[in-house]
Amino acid sequence: MVPDLTTTNILLGIIAGVGVLEGAVVVTLLVNGVLLCRGVLQAVHRLEEQQLTPALTRVNAILDDVHAVTSTVRAETGRMDRIAQWIAERFSHSRHAAAGGRSTGVM
C-alpha cells in the first residue's frame, strides 16, 4: 500500500509559498531602506547647502574680524608697554641725576 502524500504535498506547497512571500518582503524592505537612506542623505545635503554653509561662512568672517582685532590690540599693547618702559627709564634717570646733584651732608 502506498501512503497518501497529498497532505504532505499541500504543506510543502504552503511552506514554499511562505518562503517566496518572505523573500518578497525582504526585497521590499531592502528597497525601501535604500530609498529612505537616499532621501535622508539628500535632505542632509540640502540642509548643509542651505543652512550650514552660510552659517559657517558667517562664523569664519566673524573669526577673521576677531583675529584682526586681537592682532591690533596685541600690537598696541606692545607699543604701550614700550612707552611705559621708556617713561619709567626716563623718570628713574631723572631721579638719579637729581639725587646726584644734591649733597647728602655726609663727607
> pLDDT per position in the chain (107 positions), as tens?
778 899 999 999 999 999 999 999 999 999 999 999 999 999 999 999 999 889 999 999 999 999 999 999 999 999 999 999 999 888 887 777 776 655 555 54
Residues, the chain: 107
- CA quadruple 8, 9, 12, 17: dihedral sign: negative
What type of residue is 81?
D
| Residue span of the structural domain in which 88 resides | 53-93
- 83 within some domain: yes
Q: What is the pLDDT of residue 4?
A: 87
Q: What is the pLDDT of residue 95?
A: 76
- 82 within some domain: yes
Please state whether the predicted TM-score (pTM) of the whole model is above 0.85: no
Structural domain count of the chain: 1
DSSP 28-56: HHHHHHHHHHHHHHHHHHHHIIIIIHHHH
Q: What is the pLDDT of residue 107?
A: 45
Which residue bears the cell 623718570?
A: 91
- 79 within some domain: yes
- 69 within some domain: yes
- 78 within some domain: yes
- 61 within some domain: yes
